[in-house]
Chain A
């Protein structure tokens, strides 16, 4: 079955370290997204991509970067982790069709100490 997987599911790191969260989908979707989930804020869009070599900033992109070298993967990198980036991160993908439904991964819980 096609799916979207995130790794690691849980990570603890220290302030200032670089962290990469992986996202891999097997649906061959062109669109991929990274959201963060925080209490009281719901999901906020970090970065998104509409295809290989395409990346775009979302509403909370400061301190994050992504790259899209193939259709299946959209890794999210925190260049220098900060305590404010402690959150649950969700990757999602969608195909280019009318309803725009997003398919979500299980999430990656990141704690920055």
Chain B
């Protein structure tokens, strides 16, 4: 949706870290999410962060939230070929509805 913006493409070398950035507009969002979509498949939740948190770490994934700037990022450490996918940022716009960004296509090169 128009309220959530993210860059469209990211190319990263295998073994490096990937950082995907997202900005959102609804300051009342209580949860923000990162979803992963592999080719020909639906979206699967990678992780989420509650709006009163600044950071959340889950194995190779680190989510950073800057509420003042309405900026969300996802860092993937030691990026692998299996991480090649489209990554969507989403915010909870109220009443269980999620607004999604356009998606960032991550390509992992050897």
Q: Give residues in A with beta carbon < 8 Å to B.
A: 31, 33, 35, 40-45, 48, 50, 58-59, 90, 92, 94, 96, 98-102, 104-107
Taking CB atoms, residues of chain B closer than 8 Å to A98 are 31
B interface residues, tally (CB under 8 Å): 24
B45 interface residue, CB < 8 Å from A? yes
CA A106 to CA B96, docked complex, whole Å? 20
Contact A100 B98 (CB under 8 A): yes
CA A37 to CA B30, docked complex, whole Å? 24
Nearest CB to that of A109 among chain B residues?
B40
CA A101 to CA B44, docked complex, whole Å? 10
Contact A107 B41 (CB under 8 A): yes
Cβ-neighbour of B102 out of A40, A58, A99, A101 (below 8 A): A40
